[in-house]
Chains A and B, each alone.
Chain A
Amino acid sequence: MNAVGFPILSLLTWLPLVGGLVILSVRGDEATVAANARWTALWTSLIVFALSLILWVRFDRTEPGFQFVESLPWLPEYGVGYRMGVDGISVLFVLLATALTPICILSAWDVIRTRVREFMLAFLILETMMVGMFCAADFIVFYMFFEGVLIPMFLIIGVWGGPRRVYAAIKFFLYTLLGSVLMLLALLAIWHQAGTTDLAVLLHTAIPPAMQSWLFFAFLASFAVKVPMWPVHTWLPDAHVEAPTAGSVILAGVLLKMGAYGFLRFSVPMLPLASAEFAPLIYALSVIAVIYTSAVALAQTDMKKLIAYSSVAHMGVVTIGIFTFNVQGIAGALFQMLSHGVVSAALFLCVGVVYDRMHTREIARYGGLVHRMPAYAVTFLVFTMASIGLPGTAGFVGEFLVLVGSLRVNFWLALLGGSGMILGAAYMLYMYRRVVFGRLTREDLKSILDLSPREVALFAPLVILTLWMGIYPSSFTTFFDASVGAMVDQHAAFFPPVQLAGVLAR
């Protein structure tokens, strides 16, 4: 059937749901249920993570197409099937999702005290949806998971969130749903055109040029909101601020990658002409995102909001990279997505640590934490530097590769898109200074405690991963080298070899 002999992708997808059913069946008083729910969720997610490591080991890094393929007929007469498969582009996101879920569950351990069972259930459903979305090799299946992610996330923000949680949850839901409706239309049009929804076939189906533009904008509406790109980004700060820590972590870590993943999966390979035609639009929006949101981040007074805005800026770099259509750009975008998944998730955890103690995210309420929390200060510094893109940390590799890729397109794109290097340093260091450095003057901070063993267990893998990705990124880039290469070749085949911008004569 596939490389491992059993349907591993389906197992990874549906196992969390089984864990959820177990949680549902627990009976007893509230404390028992809560404890059981926590442990069941943790063990389920850990088992899923352990299973997903099979992908790491058995994935054939030289093969650009889908692997571990599963296919069951579903609506055979309409060309729809339950098809699962991962290629170099999606496989690491599956691993990212399975790795971050146990961390999220652990981070919510004794922070979530109400409706623990439902919270854990929502998280396991969310994991099913995320993993399913990255594993889907059929457009209809993809669409269902893509939309399905909304439901548990909507509940996580709306039920366990902060004071303005309802506003934030509804804004999050409506923004993303509005975009998705257009994607559904595009999906139907493509289905009508190709007669199947099998991605492996669709990726090589020629779509008439006249249709490509409309499809491109339909996709853009959906994915731009998810990325999020400027100017449809404002749902993100609200959602992050109101969401509980675990929700923010998974939102920044995995959910934000869905939009860029969509661009890579659908827009670029299926609509090459429209993608190339409208790339300047994407560049413009992305550069605005980098500069505009970096500036806005500097003015923030709320730690989570600051990091949320920084996410928009970092994802701007991702969208630039995707639409450079060259190996360095796309590989850089993929790497930036992965590193942002780790680093921003860790930054939200860092905020969560102090929020759990002081119940405020106001930057001005902190200062001088290094006196009481040296281990926290070091951890926070590692991720701050990774967010700034210091070489040797995960953040640098993607940003630099995108810079290299974008220089092939245009000098100013490289320079302006790279300006996040400067602006990012300004807002992150400014925040770090106000929170961690300085004198410890506030009375209530004088008894604040350093990282607990549980928190150390949360951060240790993320620190290791951040440095690993920075020092030996080849462990990760080899996964997508073949797929990216094939994608770039396929894209280039649509265009006659033109003189690259820049160097004219030798």
Chain B
Amino acid sequence: MIYAVAVFAPLFGSLVAGLSGRLIGDRAAQAVTILCMILAAICGSTAFVQLVFQGGSPGTVALGTWLDVGQFQAPWALRYDTLSAVMVAMVTFVATLIHIYSVGYMGHEKNPVSRFFSYLSLFTFAMLMLVTADNLLQLFFGWEGVGLASYLLIGYWFDKPSACAAAIKAFVVNRIGDLFFAVGIALVFFLFGSIEFSAIFAAIGQHQNAIYHVLGADFRAYEVIGVLLFLGAMGKSAQLGLHVWLPDAMEGPTPVSALIHAATMVTAGVFLMARMSPLLDYAPGALAFITVIGGSTALFAATIGCAQNDIKRVIAYSTCSQLGYMFVAAGVGAYQVSIFHLITHAFFKALLFLGAGSVIHAMSDEQDMRRMGGIWRKIPATYALMWVGSLALAGIFPFAGYFSKDAILEAAYASGSAVGLYGWVCGMLAAFLTAFYSWRLLIMTFHGAPRADHHVMEHVHESPPVMILPLVVLAIGALVAGFALKGLFIGPDWAAFWAGSIANAPDNHVLAAMEELPVWVGFAPLVVGLAGIGTAYLFYMVDPEIPVRLAARFGGVYRLLLNKWYFDEFYDWLIVRPYFALARLLWQVGDATLIDGMPNGAAALAADGSRRIVKLQTGSIAVYAFSMLIGLVVLVSVFLLFR
């Protein structure tokens, strides 16, 4: 019951704020949504504690029928197991903090902001529906619902053309993944005759060797399903190839970036992998694919993060990269580890984004780090909190990221497979780059000579307590979540904690293998991270000429990174512009000329023909008599000839 309250309280807040926001005013709308969120957070945490620590039993909360056609059944129901409860607790907790933070951040808006709070709560509701789904279709409902909220929030400042474009881009790119996801759901139904998780997982053994024929070859059906679902996850979680929407999504207000594009929505793909773990564990090919894409994304996005100048974009690419890590963990079968990193990442990445928001707030909406610098004395609290976030992100002991990132790299190494090793190498390189760009960000933003004009500098001010307090709470999370949760999530008793909500196949021993690795594997990420910090210190603090010389020396590489590997340009050239050209061609040539040409031509022919025939009717008796005579002659001759 309290579980259902946790899910539906945000919806209630969203409806009140959205439908009557203009009536009750901004203050009341904010109060309603925040109270609903606090209620949801209390209920969500209680539900989690009851389940895990007080011996509560997992189950489902039935709400009603959604679809029931033939054998295709999709009820509305809330699934209550460890995985869902963990996610509910995290989502409601982080979302509540971000709601509170937004009161301060959106305080300077000229227009009413009840709409903003309505959207935020709507997003939270959709995300909760996603993580509590009891069947794949309801998961898809939440999946698309967060997509809608993301679209609305990225385009929140609808006067800005760039924000509108980014919103459409996010929606359409996500839809590409969603199509594959939907086909995957259909295939699950085709194979299992059901899309409810309990029914699917119960029948895993029966269909192991089912074959599906596609792309001119036979594949095991589980592999096909795994790949299709992962393609969906790639869209939502911004993995290599479908990542292009995430950096642009930074057009939205910063709390949105923190909630949706760092802590929760983008991790939905990872959640999906963990949710489908009983099936994926029997799809080694799909898992290998996931590992390769995840590892590549982790490294690829980290390289871009090193060359960006927009403070939010650096963090966005960092998110992309960290999601890659999570997929590496899922790909080697360590789903528990991926969820561990998902949770710790939610704390420190939300902290970093909100910290960046605090900086932007202080700098009169400046986002370019080249026009910052020298402000750390003016906003010491933000500065300190950004340090905490960066330490956690870079994986420095004892911050949260140290435990979870370490575990991912250990799992990748322990898997012993070639793709696992690939994921490990990518992860190690990315760990170095992560630390590097994090300190590049810190130093460029806070240190050195001030590069903003004096108007901005005079205005630099610490954010109000309503913004700083949520940051402090998140910082505490970023500090303690690692060692507090490690024992539960991936400790020796993980099986008791997850209670079957994440299931491993009998031959999946990756978690056990992690315990038996050489010592250096455990220390390597920390060393690499410290090296990254040192390099950044050398480059940007000691001798700022080094990066300039490097950029000049390796101009090609620098431009490649600065322009994000030219992905946007490539897609524009390959897809967007040809598609628009094709659209015009099909319309003006295909429809207007060819297809319409036939009826229009026939009509013209008929009109033309009759106009000529009309001319025969001259009204002259002599002509008529003459033609009758000719006709008679022809008739008689034919009759005589062929008699």
Chain A residues close to B by CB (< 8 Å): 171, 174-175, 231, 233-234, 237, 292, 295-300, 326-328, 331-332, 368, 370, 385, 390-392, 396-397, 400-401, 403-404, 407-408, 411, 414-415, 418-419, 421-422, 425-426, 429-430, 433, 436-439, 471-474, 477, 481, 485, 501-506
CB–CB A327/B69 < 8 A: yes
Could you tell me if A438 and B159 are in contact, using CB atoms closer than 8 angstroms? yes
- Bound-state CA distance A401–B72 (Å) is 9
Residue pair B168, A505 in contact (C-beta under 8 Å): no
Q: Are B599 and A437 in contact (CB under 8 A)?
A: no
9 chain-A/chain-B pairs, Cβ below 8 angstroms: A327-B71, A331-B69, A401-B67, A403-B186, A414-B186, A422-B179, A437-B164, A477-B67, A503-B221
Please report B residues at the A interface, Cβ cutoff 8 Å.
Answer: 64-72, 137, 140-141, 144-145, 148, 151, 155, 158-159, 161, 164-165, 167-168, 171-172, 175-176, 178-180, 182-183, 185-187, 189-191, 206-207, 209-214, 218, 221, 579-580, 582-584, 586-587, 590-591, 595-596, 599
Question: When A295-B582, A370-B158, A429-B171 are in contact, do A472 and B595 touch as well, CB less than 8 Å?
Answer: no
- Determine whether the beta carbon of B179 is less than 8 Å from that of A418: yes
Q: Identify the closest chain B residue to A297 (Cβ).
A: B583
CA separation between A410 and B47, bound complex, in Å? 44
Check B140–A481 contact: CB distance below 8 A.
Answer: no
| Contact indicator B595/A231 (Cβ below 8 Å) | yes
Q: Are B214 and A411 in contact (CB under 8 A)?
A: yes
Minimum distance in angstroms from B97 CB to a CB of chain A: 27
A158 to chain B, nearest CB (A): 16
Q: A171-B599, A296-B586, A298-B583 are in contact. Are A502 and B168 (CB under 8 A)?
A: no
- Top 3 A-B pairs ranked by shortest CB distance? A327-B70, A299-B583, A437-B158
- Chain A residue at smallest Cβ distance from B69: A331
Contact B72 A472 (CB under 8 A): no
Write the chain B residue with the least CB distance to A368: B159
Are B183 and A328 closer than 8 Å at their CB atoms? no
Chain B residues in 8 Å Cβ range of A396: 144
What chain A residues lie within 8 Å of B206 (beta carbons)? 506
Q: Within 8 Å CB of A368, what residues of B?
A: 159
CB–CB A292/B590 < 8 A: yes
Q: Once the chains are docked, how many angstroms separate the CA of A430 from the CA of B167?
A: 10
Asked if B590 and A331 sit within 8 Å, CB to CB, the answer is no
Chain B interface main SS type = helix
Q: A231-B595, A331-B70 are in contact. Are A390 and B210 (CB under 8 A)?
A: no
Contact: B172 with A429, CB < 8 Å? yes
* A425 contact from B69, B175, B180, B213, Cβ within 8 A: B175
B175, A422: Cβ atoms under 8 Å?
A: yes
Q: How far is the CB of B176 from chain A (nearest CB, A)?
A: 6
Instruction: Collect the chain A residues with CB atoms within 8 Å of residue B165's CB.
Output: 433
Across the two chains, which residue of chain A brings its CB closest to B189?
A: A404
Whole-angstrom distance between the Cβ of B547 and the nearest chain A Cβ: 39
Q: Is the CB of B178 within 8 A of A421?
A: yes
CB distance from B421 to the nearest CB of A (A): 33
Look across to chain A and name the residue whose beta carbon is closest to the beta carbon of B165: A433
> Whole-angstrom distance between the alpha carbons of A233 and B584 in the complex?
17
Q: Does B164 contact A433, Cβ atoms closer than 8 Å?
A: yes
Q: How far is the CA of A397 from the CA of B178 in the complex (A)?
A: 15
Contacts of B186 in A (CB 8 A): 403-404, 407, 414
With A390-B148, A391-B145, A473-B66 as contacts: A505 and B158 at CB distance below 8 Å: no
How far apart are A501's CB and chain B's nearest CB, in angstroms? 8
B182 touches A418 (CB 8 A): yes
Known contacts A295-B582, A502-B190; A473/B67 CB under 8 A: yes
**With known contacts A391-B145, A403-B186, A425-B171, A438–B590 Cβ distance under 8 A:** no
| Nearest-CB residue, chain B, relative to A375 | B22
- A429/B168 contact (C-beta < 8 A), A296-B587, A328-B69, A391-B144 known: yes
A403, A471, A501: which contacts B183 (Cβ < 8 A)? A403
Cβ–Cβ contact A502 & B212, under 8 A: yes
Of B64, B164, B183, B599, which one neighbours A415 at CB under 8 angstroms?
B183
Q: How far is A418 from B186 in the complex, measured between Cα atoms in Å?
A: 11
Measured in the bound complex, the distance between the Cα atoms of B214 and A501 in whole Å is 10
> How far is it, in angstroms, between the C-alpha of A425 and the C-alpha of B182 when the chains are bound?
15
Complex Cα distance A300/B179, Å?
24
Minimum distance in angstroms from B181 CB to a CB of chain A: 10
User: Which residues on the A side are within 8 Å of B591 (C-beta)?
Assistant: 234, 237, 296
Determine the chain A residues whose CB is within 8 A of the CB of B148 once the complex forms.
Answer: 385, 390
Q: Which residues of A contact B64 (CB under 8 A)?
A: 472
Contacting A439 at CB < 8 Å: which of B144, B151, B159, B178?
A: B159
In-complex Cβ contact of A295 among B161, B178, B212, B586 (8 A): B586
Q: Are A425 and B172 in contact (CB under 8 A)?
A: yes
Q: Are B590 and A296 in contact (CB under 8 A)?
A: yes
| A residues in contact with B595, CB < 8 Å | 231, 233-234
Q: Which residues of B contact A438 (CB under 8 A)?
A: 158-159, 161, 164
Shortest Cβ distance from A95 into chain B, in angstroms?
19
Contact B144 A328 (CB under 8 A): no
Contact B178 A328 (CB under 8 A): no
CA distance A373 to B182 in the complex (A): 35
Question: Given A392-B141, A411-B214, A419-B179, is A295 in contact with B70 using a C-beta cutoff of 8 Å?
Answer: no
Distance between Cα atoms of A247 and B70 in the complex (Å): 36
Assess the A506–B67 pair: CB atoms within 8 A: no
| B294 shortest CB reach to chain A, Å | 24
- B182 contacts which chain A residues (CB < 8 A)? 400, 403, 418, 421
Bound form: Cα–Cα A237–B587 in Å: 11
Contacts A292-B590, A438-B159, A472-B65: A506 and B176 contacting too (C-beta < 8 A)?
no
For residue A295, give the distance in angstroms from its CB to the closest CB of chain B: 4
Q: Is the CB of B211 within 8 A of A404?
A: no
Residues of A within 8 A of B72 (CB): 327-328, 401, 404
* B163 and chain A: residue at smallest CB distance: A437
CB-CB < 8 A to B183: which residues of A?
Answer: 403, 407, 411, 414-415, 418
Shortest A402–chain B CB gap in Å is 10
Is the pair B209, A505 in contact by a Cβ cutoff of 8 Å?
Answer: yes
Name which residue of chain B comes closest to A305, CB basis: B587
Chain A residue at minimal CB-CB distance from B583: A299
Say whether A390 contacts B212, CB under 8 Å: no
On whether A504 and B586 interact (CB within 8 A), knowing A331-B70, A415-B179, A439-B159, the answer reads no
A429 neighbours in B (Cβ, 8 Å): 151, 167-168, 171-172
Residues of B within 8 A of A392 (CB): 141, 144-145
Residues of B within 8 A of A407 (CB): 183, 186-187, 190
Chain B residues in 8 Å Cβ range of A403: 182-183, 186
The interface residues of chain A lying within 8 Å CB-to-CB of B190 are 404, 407-408, 502-503
A268–B383 Cα gap in the complex (Å)? 70
Give the interface centre of A332, A391, A506 by most chain B CB atoms within 10 Å: A391
Nearest neighbor of A439 in chain B, beta-carbon distance: B159
A407 and B221 CA atoms in complex are apart in Å by 13
A404-B186, A419-B179, A425-B172 known; 16 new pairs, CB 8 Å cut-off, are: A296-B590, A370-B158, A391-B144, A400-B137, A401-B72, A404-B189, A407-B183, A407-B187, A411-B214, A415-B180, A426-B168, A473-B67, A474-B66, A477-B69, A502-B190, A505-B211
Report B-chain residues with C-beta under 8 Å of the C-beta of A297: 583
CB distance from A10 to the nearest CB of B (A): 32
Out of A234, A332, A400, A472, name the residue touching B596 (CB < 8 Å).
A234
In the complex formed, the residue of B with least CB distance to A231 is B595
**In the complex the two chains form, what is the Cα distance from A296 to B68 in whole Å?**
35
Q: Are A430 and B179 in contact (CB under 8 A)?
A: no
Residues of A close to B171: CB separation below 8 A: 425, 429
Tell whether, in the assembled complex, residue A299 and residue B580 are in contact, meaning their CB atoms are under 8 Å apart. Answer: yes
Residues of B near A485 (CB, < 8 A) are: 70
Give the docked Cα–Cα distance between A297 and B210 (Å).
41
Q: Once bound together, how far apart are the Cα atoms of A331 and B71, in whole Å?
A: 12
Interface centre among B151, B159, B218, B583 (most CB of A within 10 A): B583
